[in-house]
Structure 1
Amino acid sequence: MSKILKNNIILILSIIALNILGFWVYFRADLTADKRYSISESSKNLLKNLEDEVIIKVYLDGEGLPGGFERLKRAVKETLVEFKYFGKDNIDYQFINPYNGSEDERNKLFKELVEKGMQPTNIFAKEDGKKVENLVFPYATIWYQNKEVPVLLLKANLAQDSQTKLNQSYENVEYELASAIQKLTNTKKKKIGLLSEFTNLQPINFAGLINTLQEYYDLYIIDSKKSPSFAGLDALIVPKPDKPVDDSTKAKIDQYIMNGGRVLFFVDGLKVDSVGLEGSFAQPLDVNLDDMLFKYGVRINKNIVKDGLNAAIIPMVVGNMGDKPNIQPMPYRYFPLINKFSNSLITKNIDMVYTKFTASIDPVNGNDGLKKTPLLLTSQYTKVLNAPALITYNEARTDTDETEYQGGVKTVAYLIEGTFKSILQKSFTNSEIKTTSVPTKILVCSDGDIIVNEIDRKTGNPYPMGFDRFSQHQYGNQDFVINTLNYLLDEQGLLTAKSKSVGLRPLDKLKVNNQKTKWQLINIVLPLVLLVVFGFLRFYYVKNKYAQA
């Protein structure tokens, strides 16, 4: 047997052995710097512990998807491959092209998707020199035990450019899919208490919050007078109080926190009863929580912050058009759109947060050992009005004068973590009082309207939380609240799935235009030249080798 034949046989046997080994031993390594092909440990644990089959149908498919949507589709597929690996037979997925089939079949499917709340996205492309408009459904549906939930895959900050929004959606894919699976498969829901007896708002004003919470948690409306304590709740929400919280309830909240309870405070700084064209004065609001929040490390100021850069719109009569009033959408600076966030998983890649008549928050007791993370921040172009503050709708008529908006960035929500000090003092008669908490977390937000929904005046039905009826856009209020609760309560740390960061590496457009021909030659011609040179060298090497033999 010649040496060459022997080497070839060894090579073939080695390849066969490696294939056999690869069949039994599965190994993968993510060598990318941003770990884009990996999923978090919390997602892995969720998938490994599935008790029944989860079916995922992705409708982001079809021919001629623009580059950004094709990249998002690829990210979904890469994520689902990982889900399948860890979920085994309990994960099944398929991509469905909504444009397949006859026209009647397509229209039927489109109607079904829209009825499930999956609104298509319009995209524009050029075909044969003409501008063509197509519909894309950036959604998936997840089925589990006869329950279905839609998942929006194109989910990002509205204020960002299209490329950044697609990249944020790329980063969110794992979290959106995993959290939907957790919502469907979770049989032991956390218990959330809503302490609504200190607000004059009606339950319908919190319908968006209530409906959202009930998808993920067991929700209880708390009557503090009938509850000796709040023990047994996993979290407590104090929603927009506009009358004083009595001392007994305040003590229960305090001791709940001392025993490790999580509390979300949504408390206004000023009270705004009604607003007219001529205006009315907003007065300081005292709900008997100032001393408690001060003890916990923050102070809600008695002011209102106007944001000259980011503000929601309201319809205003700006004149007449013939015999009819001319109504135009105008920015109302008392309704800041929060688009500045801290580096936190809670606020990563969420849309702007819609606020109304919000106050500023300052940290206090700087040496208390608590970690205070500012979550929601205004733009640097702010103006602060201290109480009593004149509030008027005519404000929307005026242009923003940059010289008036020099207040700088203001914080409107703080996450506070650590060991808290009680506002109560231990005595011989109440020896069970705890004066120092176990490590825990709370949220303090200086705008109660973040969790309040508007009402459709025609039908009387509530809008979703964070929905603006004038712009017809749902802002990120719901995601902010749910992400906060996930951070406070989720021991599995599913929110860590949001930690994935995929950096944008855009091409230099100027260099692309100037050096286009050069790089085309390098990428197309150079490999061919190298291949020819290698062929000639190998030919002469083999010729000389066997000629000498």
Structure 2
Amino acid sequence: MADSLPAPAVAAVPSRKRRDLLRFVAVLGGLLLFNFVAQRFFFRLDLTEEKRYTMSPATKKLLSNLQQPVTVTVYLTGDFPPSFRRLEQAVRETLTEFQVYGGSNLHFIFIDPSAASTEAARSEFYTSLFKKGLKPTNLGATENGKRVEKIIFPWATVTLNGRSKNVLLLRGNQAEAPEVRLNQSIEGLEYELANAIRVLTPDLRKRLGVVMGHDELTNEQAGDMLGAWQQQYDVFRVDLSKVRDLKALDALVVAQPKTPYSEDEKFKLDQFITQGGRALFFVDALRVDLDSVSRNGVALATPYDLNLDDLFFKYGVRLNQNLVLDLNSGQIPLVTGMDGNRPKIEPMPWQLYPLINKFSKHPITRNLDAVYLKFAGNIDTVKAAGIRKTALLSTSRYTRVLPAPVPINFNDARLEPNPKLYQNSFQNVGYLLEGQFTSLYANRAKPGTMQFQPEKAAEARPSKVLLIADGDFIRSDIDAKTGKPYRLGYDRLANTEFANRELVLNATDYLLDESGLISVRGKQITLRPLDKVKLAEQRRGWQLLNIGAPLALLALFGAVRVWRRKRRYASFGAQY
């Protein structure tokens, strides 16, 4: 009689099938459950050390509250070297993250300006972008030991409700290496794009007053800065002698006054600041009248009497009566000879026009390019309870300080400066003051009355004040042909644009923006460059590893899988 098969072996097949089916159903159910939970409860994980992909709360709130569609058109795309593609990729990642919080109200597109099929069409498109204010940049980099240059349009245009704003994506300090500047640009992407959306979003606009009545800068001289402010704020000219108070304003600008303030006018300034109003002062300590230059090219810088010294002193700073000279300086045009019957004019270094390239790490000045000063003095700090003082701008290591009165001889520009005289390093020329300011008139009578002022008024609130010891800081040169002001910071001799405009806009945002969006400028991304020497030496080995390792792992996985299947079915067949 033949032996029959054991009963357990007969039941093994359906048992194994049932187990596999249950495992499949469990995995499928787990995936469906995970998908359901992910749709109901949104979360994202940023595992980078500096949290480079994490949006700030101010940006999230701005994007989540969008009521109208926003379109961002980016022109930074095309066939770029790897270093430039890193900036392009960072823009894509930032906008993708924006879309998470902006939802269907935020759209973005990338357009390659070089994608036209013919040279004529490409040139026409370039011209159209240039007319919109989008200037190309010729940015260089070293790739594989060769110098690579590429004309790019590092711009984006943000459009909302029929209004548009251009956003420069390539920023940073031009004195830095290209890779450092690219990294600084990446750090500022969130702020630049979010701030453009904020500016275009309909909202209650802040009111900015520009003081007049003391020979301050005219509308033409400050024209570019006034135009930039008007894009974001309601701007008014204010005569302190004709208004009762300044409560209707959110911020006040004092730009290069030349005649004294009365006690009543100074009282209005003081009350405005101590009650929470924000202020920006661009003030000279010395008068330099270039219209009075003698035939020998000599002028004399003498102290102003603006009647503001005690106010500044009470707030914690002292505007010194001197001029700073810096070997890191701008230029002036001088006649250096004759070219036939015509004078030969050449730009010469002029140490009284300092170029400031040393900033604090504050969001106002972080990753800022150099700014341009003219006949500036330095600022000292004094004790002021409850006031936090931040030195925003400082001169270079090679600085000289001359006390008033200062003879100014333009012929000195022809001479080689003596570095041994430039030993007053890092003079502070700009301060940010924050806190609860104590009134200059506390425990005193209001000017012109017997009304006693309390030590701390009931309306007292914390405030912020910016002081830069240069009245020309927001002055634009005037185009003689058109009569219109040049863009603030543009230097015709150097054919370059300094960052005066950007600094003032950043400072105004910091003083007035209650959302805290300006703090995003403090974002920092660590630059981790590869060792270029090792990269060149080991390039072939890493290429082979990147190509061969995945293939080897795939072959190993296939071999192990085949071996396991053979072993599994061999043991199953042995039971029969």
Counterpart AA for 1:441: K
3-state SS of paired residue (1:72): helix
Choose from 72, 88, 98 the match for 2:87.
Answer: 72
Choose from 407, 410, 434 the match for 2:427.
Answer: 410
Using the TM superposition, give the Cα deviation of residue 388 of structure 1 relative to its aligned residue in structure 2, in angstroms.
0.9
Alpha-carbon distance change, 51 to 97 in structure 1, aligned in 2, over 3 angstroms? same
Alignment of 1:357 onto 2:380? no
Between stretches 387-396 and 174-183, larger displacement belongs to 387-396
CA distance in 2, matches of 1:408, 1:125: 33
Using the TM superposition, give the Cα deviation of residue 453 of structure 1 relative to its aligned residue in structure 2, in angstroms.
1.1
What's 1:38 paired with?
A: 54
Alpha-carbon distance change, 368 to 161 in structure 1, aligned in 2, over 3 angstroms? same
Q: TM-score, normalised by structure 1?
A: 0.92
CA distance in 2, matches of 1:214, 1:56: 22
CA distance in 2, matches of 1:496, 1:43: 10
3-state SS of paired residue (2:221): helix
Q: Deviations over 1:319-370 (max 9, x none)?
A: 45566544333221111111100110010112211110000000012x6231
What's 1:487 paired with?
A: 510
Q: Deviations over 1:359-390 (max 9, x none)?
A: 0000012x623110000111111000111111
What's 1:91 paired with?
A: 106
Alpha-carbon distance change, 102 to 529 in structure 1, aligned in 2, over 3 angstroms? closer
Alignment of 1:442 onto 2:458? no
Counterpart AA for 1:456: D
Answer yes or no: is the 8 Å Cα contact 1:316–1:329 preserved in 2. yes
3-state SS of paired residue (1:113): helix
What's 2:492 paired with?
A: 469
CA distance in 2, matches of 1:163, 1:542: 52
What's 1:267 paired with?
A: 283
Between stretches 509-518 and 490-499, larger displacement belongs to 509-518
Q: Deviations over 1:277-319 (max 9, x none)?
A: 63211111221100110111000110000111x2112233334
Q: Deviations over 1:454-489 (max 9, x none)?
A: 111232211122221222322111111111111111
Alignment of 1:318 onto 2:336? yes
CA distance in 1, matches of 2:456, 2:308: 17
Answer yes or no: is the 8 Å Cα contact 2:354–2:374 preserved in 1. yes
CA distance in 1, matches of 2:213, 2:181: 40
Alignment of 1:292 onto 2:311? yes
Answer yes or no: is the 8 Å Cα contact 1:255–1:433 preserved in 2. no
Q: Which has the larger radius of gyration?
A: 2
Q: Deviations over 1:129-151 (max 9, x none)?
A: 99886531111111111111211
3-state SS of paired residue (2:366): coil
Choose from 423, 433, 439 the match for 2:440.
Answer: 423
CA distance in 2, matches of 1:268, 1:131: 45
What's 2:260 paired with?
A: 244
CA distance in 2, matches of 1:253, 1:456: 34
Between stretches 527-536 and 491-500, larger displacement belongs to 527-536
What's 2:115 paired with?
A: 100
Alignment of 1:5-20 (within 5 A): 5-19=21-35
3-state SS of paired residue (1:225): helix
CA distance in 2, matches of 1:126, 1:521: 23
Using the TM superposition, give the Cα deviation of residue 543 of structure 1 relative to its aligned residue in structure 2, in angstroms.
4.4
CA distance in 2, matches of 1:126, 1:419: 51
Using the TM superposition, give the Cα deviation of residue 52 of structure 1 relative to its aligned residue in structure 2, in angstroms.
1.0
What's 1:162 paired with?
A: 178
3-state SS of paired residue (2:222): helix
What's 1:379 paired with?
A: 396
Alpha-carbon distance change, 165 to 223 in structure 1, aligned in 2, over 3 angstroms? same
Using the TM superposition, give the Cα deviation of residue 22 of structure 1 relative to its aligned residue in structure 2, in angstroms.
4.3
Alignment of 1:198 onto 2:198? no
Alpha-carbon distance change, 417 to 23 in structure 1, aligned in 2, over 3 angstroms? closer
Between stretches 118-127 and 88-97, larger displacement belongs to 118-127
3-state SS of paired residue (1:391): strand
CA distance in 2, matches of 1:294, 1:40: 37
Alignment of 1:188 onto 2:204? yes
Using the TM superposition, give the Cα deviation of residue 412 of structure 1 relative to its aligned residue in structure 2, in angstroms.
0.6
What's 2:273 paired with?
A: 257
Alpha-carbon distance change, 493 to 186 in structure 1, aligned in 2, over 3 angstroms? farther
What's 2:10 paired with?
A: none
Answer yes or no: is the 8 Å Cα contact 1:139–1:153 preserved in 2. yes
Alpha-carbon distance change, 487 to 201 in structure 1, aligned in 2, over 3 angstroms? closer
Answer yes or no: is the 8 Å Cα contact 1:255–1:422 preserved in 2. yes
Using the TM superposition, give the Cα deviation of residue 406 of structure 1 relative to its aligned residue in structure 2, in angstroms.
0.8
CA distance in 1, matches of 2:288, 2:142: 51
3-state SS of paired residue (1:429): coil
Identity among equivalent pairs (%): 42
What's 2:361 paired with?
A: 343
3-state SS of paired residue (1:212): helix
Choose from 299, 309, 334 the match for 1:280.
Answer: 299
Q: Deviations over 1:475-524 (max 9, x none)?
A: 11111111111111111111022122111111122332344455445544
Choose from 46, 49, 61 the match for 2:65.
Answer: 49
Answer yes or no: is the 8 Å Cα contact 1:379–1:409 preserved in 2. yes
Between stretches 4-13 and 298-307, larger displacement belongs to 4-13
Counterpart AA for 1:75: A
CA distance in 2, matches of 1:14, 1:164: 46
Structure 2: gaps (5+ residues): 1-13
Alignment of 1:134-149 (within 5 A): 134-149=150-165
CA distance in 1, matches of 2:87, 2:203: 31
Using the TM superposition, give the Cα deviation of residue 122 of structure 1 relative to its aligned residue in structure 2, in angstroms.
2.3
Aligned residues: 546
3-state SS of paired residue (2:461): coil
CA distance in 1, matches of 2:142, 2:229: 43
What's 2:6 paired with?
A: none
CA distance in 1, matches of 2:238, 2:452: 26
Counterpart AA for 1:350: L
CA distance in 1, matches of 2:41, 2:274: 50
Answer yes or no: is the 8 Å Cα contact 1:258–1:435 preserved in 2. no
Answer yes or no: is the 8 Å Cα contact 1:266–1:444 preserved in 2. yes
Q: Deviations over 1:13-56 (max 9, x none)?
A: 43454445545554321111122212211111111112211111
3-state SS of paired residue (2:239): coil
Q: Deviations over 1:198-221 (max 9, x none)?
A: 125432111112111101100110
Counterpart AA for 2:507: T
Using the TM superposition, give the Cα deviation of residue 544 of structure 1 relative to its aligned residue in structure 2, in angstroms.
4.5
Structure 1: gaps (5+ residues): none
Answer yes or no: is the 8 Å Cα contact 1:235–1:261 preserved in 2. yes
Choose from 407, 410, 414 the match for 1:393.
Answer: 410
Choose from 454, 458, 463 the match for 2:477.
Answer: 454
Answer yes or no: is the 8 Å Cα contact 1:241–1:287 preserved in 2. yes
Using the TM superposition, give the Cα deviation of residue 107 of structure 1 relative to its aligned residue in structure 2, in angstroms.
3.3
What's 2:3 paired with?
A: none
Alignment of 1:220 onto 2:243? no
Answer yes or no: is the 8 Å Cα contact 2:140–2:178 preserved in 1. no
CA distance in 2, matches of 1:498, 1:264: 20
Counterpart AA for 1:302: Q
Answer yes or no: is the 8 Å Cα contact 1:312–1:337 preserved in 2. yes
Choose from 337, 345, 359 the match for 1:327.
Answer: 345
3-state SS of paired residue (1:205): coil
